[in-house]
Amino acid sequence: MALSEHDVPRIQHILAVALKRGSLIRQIINTLEDAIAGTYHPRGYSGDDLDIVILAYRLGGRQLLYAFSHRLGLPLLRTLQTHRTFMSISPTIGSITAEQFDANIKTLILIPSQSAVIPRWGHSIMMDEIALEE
């Protein structure tokens, strides 16, 4: 009855974890009651959850991500940063310098790690000039 009256975020995840652990029916019901009461928040996120969070962050920024995370039980930005790598290249206005070029290449090819730098393979470099009318 309580499930029909309340929207429990990530109920599929709660049930999947409980069944994987071999929980009894009473334990599953207690966990669902705790989730309804707001005292239990499931952890562990699938790739789909992280993809939705990336989409929300790219389209609406931190505010939309915050709203989705609290309403739908999706991970926050810090969790996303631990599971995904963010890269940002800097566009150049005017003629490009060797330092700017090297910085963008290093940003894309080398990922800083805690112990060492991991090289990435299979990149293409494309450059384009945009003519502006003065």
Helices (H), the chain: 2-5, 11-21, 25-37, 47-72, 77-83, 98-109
Q: List the domain range (segments joined by +) for residue 27.
A: 2-37
**Among candidates 70, 79, 57, 77, which has minimal Cα distance to 9?**
70
Has residue 27 got a pLDDT over 70?
yes
Q: What is the pTM of this model?
A: 0.47
Instruction: Calculate what percentage of the chain has a pLDDT beyond 70.
Output: 72
Whether 79 and 103 map to the same domain: the answer is no
Classify residue 44: in a domain, yes or no.
Answer: no
CB burial of 15-50 (b: ≥16 within 10 Å; e: otherwise) equals: bebbeeeeeeeeebeebbeebbeeeeebeebeeebb
Whether 92 and 69 map to the same domain: the answer is no
Average pLDDT, the chain: 75
Has residue 58 got a pLDDT over 80?
yes
Classify residue 46: in a domain, yes or no.
Answer: no
> What does the pLDDT look like over 81-90, one tens digit per residue?
777 767 777 7
- Please tell me the total count of domains within the chain: 3
